[in-house]
Amino acid sequence: MMRRADPSLDYFFRPRTVALIGASSKPGKIGHESLRSLLMTGYLGKVYPVNPRAGEILGLKTYPSLLDVPDEVDLAVITLPAPSVVDAMKDCLKKGVKAVVIISGGFGEAGSEGKRMEREVVRLAKEGGIRIIGPNCIGVFDGYSMVDTSFQPHERMGRPGPGVVAFLSQSGTFGATFLDWAAEDHLGVSKMVSLGNRADVDEADLISYFAGDPKTHVIGVYVESFTRGRELMEAVRNAGKPVVVYKASRTEKGSLAAVSHTGRMVAKHEVASSALRQAGALLVDSFGELYAAVKALAKQPAMKGGGVVMVTNGAGPCVMAADELVMRRVPIAQLSEDTKEELRGSLPPYVLVGDFVIDLTGSANTSDYLNALEVLAKSEEVGLLGVFVVFQDSPLEDDFAEVLSRFDAAGKPLLVFAAGGRYTRDKRSLLEEAGIPTYDDVREFASASLALWWWGSHERQGALGV
């Protein structure tokens, strides 16, 4: 049953009005670029810049104080220097603002005075029933309402279209990277949240919120430390959707870096990781693997059974992929003699038909790939089709990516591995646009396969009532 989203968080993602406190007329300033993001990304609500000295910014009338804004304010975005944020929060309290994103740094991560200011900001927010994201963050992005508080210019960071992935991150850097990669890969996003110091809203709040959001089907999480461990585990356990986590700060030095990053102490990595797994999250080993897994879950169906098979015109990466799949305990196909004989009858005599690798060799063309994939797609031994392709090989026709994008995989997931330069990246982009995830790192291919196997196992257990 779908959990109902916490309505207090709606104001971050579907506000009718946004006030930007600290709006600047100077390009390059955070207060200018955050305002520009709201206007350029496509948010259609009302936007009110607040600046006591500027009459107009980016074609909008400015207001000397939040209290002068002639409208109710659902969401306030604060970009002022840290010492001015407390007074801004007092105005938010008087104005009846529902939610606040504090982009400004210089709080809990900056020492005792910063911690004192952060506590005062939280006290004021609680007094007024205001929810806070931040401080020390890039804020929120919504692929449907197009609320975008980030200060990364469009010329430097892409914005994806609407989709099914929600991503939350304690790091603004990884939040920006996720949006950039998603835009390039035609991966639709429902929401992205950069949490920063998590003075109020934290990962437990957001996972629960995303669980109740009908537009979100997959949840990705970059986390360094926990604020409320028990509530986080409960949120993951009850999500009812795939939750993929990369837990950083694995070493003593990493933990020290995390404290200086957001001002939070870090639990022991082994304990935290074990708790997340027991709660039902999928843990991965890098940010690249996190993105790879989330992309696969968003674009492809889960594995319904069987194992991974690989079809290739260059077998080297398949050797590496087999190692990575085994280390992740992803099942690899064991083709029957009947399936092998059917493959041999459909393919040239020089093709090497193995138990789980079909090596078409460097002579492969588009027809060879399609003939092999058609046999494998209908085989019960196969749960996932891994297409490993050297686009640079001259026997392979230029239109291979376009042809593959139209292939009917009979409800089975299909992932592509292809490494190379500009030509290969262009072909990968065509496949991504068609909904086929592509990878140029075998570890990321293996993590994507793991995610589809893992979530397929959850679905099978649910169907059996386990």
The pLDDT of residue 226 is 86
Rounded Cα distance between 63 and 83, Å, is: 20
Q: Strands (DSSP E) along 248-404, which ranges? A: 282-283, 307-312, 352-353, 357-359, 382-388
Q: Based on the domain organization, do 125 and 250 belong to the same domain?
A: yes
Which of 344, 338, 345 has the alpha carbon at shortest distance from 358? 344
Question: pTM, whole model, 2 decimals?
Answer: 0.93
Q: Based on the domain organization, do 285 and 203 belong to the same domain?
A: yes
Q: Based on the domain organization, do 29 and 146 belong to the same domain?
A: yes
Domain boundary among 251, 279, 296: 296
- Note down pLDDT in tens along the chain; length 466 residues: 344 557 889 999 999 999 999 999 999 999 999 999 999 999 999 999 999 997 899 999 999 999 999 999 999 999 999 999 999 999 999 999 999 999 998 887 877 888 998 999 999 999 999 999 999 999 999 999 999 999 999 999 999 999 999 999 999 999 999 999 999 999 999 999 999 999 999 999 999 999 999 999 999 999 998 889 999 999 999 999 999 999 996 555 555 555 554 555 455 778 889 999 999 999 999 999 999 999 999 999 999 999 999 999 999 999 999 999 999 999 999 999 999 999 999 999 999 999 999 999 999 999 999 999 999 999 999 999 999 999 999 999 999 999 999 999 999 999 999 999 999 999 999 999 999 999 999 999 999 999 999 999 998 776 545 4
The pLDDT of residue 1 is 38
Q: Based on the domain organization, do 151 and 250 belong to the same domain?
A: yes
Alpha carbon of residue 274 to chain centroid: 22
User: In this structure, what CATH number is given to the domain that contains residue 118?
Assistant: 3.40.50.261
Rounded Cα distance between 109 and 365, Å, is: 56
The pLDDT of residue 262 is 54
Q: How many beta carbons lie within 10 A of that of residue 304, not counting itself?
A: 17
Residue 366 lies in a domain: yes
Rounded Cα distance between 84 and 78, Å, is: 10
Rounded Cα distance between 156 and 199, Å, is: 29
Of the CA atoms within 13 Å of residue 207, those in its CB half-sphere come to 31
Q: Based on the domain organization, do 386 and 372 belong to the same domain?
A: yes
The pLDDT of residue 423 is 98
Q: How far is CA 73 from each of CA 31, 34, 47, 130, rounded to the nearest angstrom? A: 18, 17, 9, 12
Which of 98, 76, 74 has the alpha carbon at shortest distance from 21? 76
Rounded Cα distance between 126 and 201, Å, is: 12
DSSP string, 309-355: EEEESS-HHHHHHHHHHHHTT--B----HHHHHHHHHHS-TT-EE-S
Q: Based on the domain organization, do 345 and 276 belong to the same domain?
A: no
Host domain of residue 400: 302-463
Q: Based on the domain organization, do 214 and 85 belong to the same domain?
A: yes
The pLDDT of residue 259 is 52
Rounded Cα distance between 151 and 157, Å, is: 10
The pLDDT of residue 271 is 87
Residue 401 lies in a domain: yes
Whether the upstream peptide bond of residue 135 has omega within 30° of 0, thus cis, is yes
Domain boundary among 296, 315, 342: 296
Residue 2 lies in a domain: no
Please name every residue paired with 222 in a beta bridge, in sequence order, or none if there are none. 169, 246
Domain count of the chain?
Answer: 2
Q: Based on the domain organization, do 361 and 214 belong to the same domain?
A: no
Q: Based on the domain organization, do 265 and 250 belong to the same domain?
A: yes
Q: Based on the domain organization, do 291 and 321 belong to the same domain?
A: no
Q: What are phi and psi of 57, to 5 degrees?
A: -135, 125
Q: Based on the domain organization, do 189 and 314 belong to the same domain?
A: no
Domain boundary among 235, 262, 296: 296
Which segments of 129-163 does DSSP mark as H helices, in order? none
Residue 1 lies in a domain: no
The pLDDT of residue 466 is 43
Q: Based on the domain organization, do 306 and 404 belong to the same domain?
A: yes
Residue 398 lies in a domain: yes
Residue 24 lies in a domain: yes
Residue 242 lies in a domain: yes
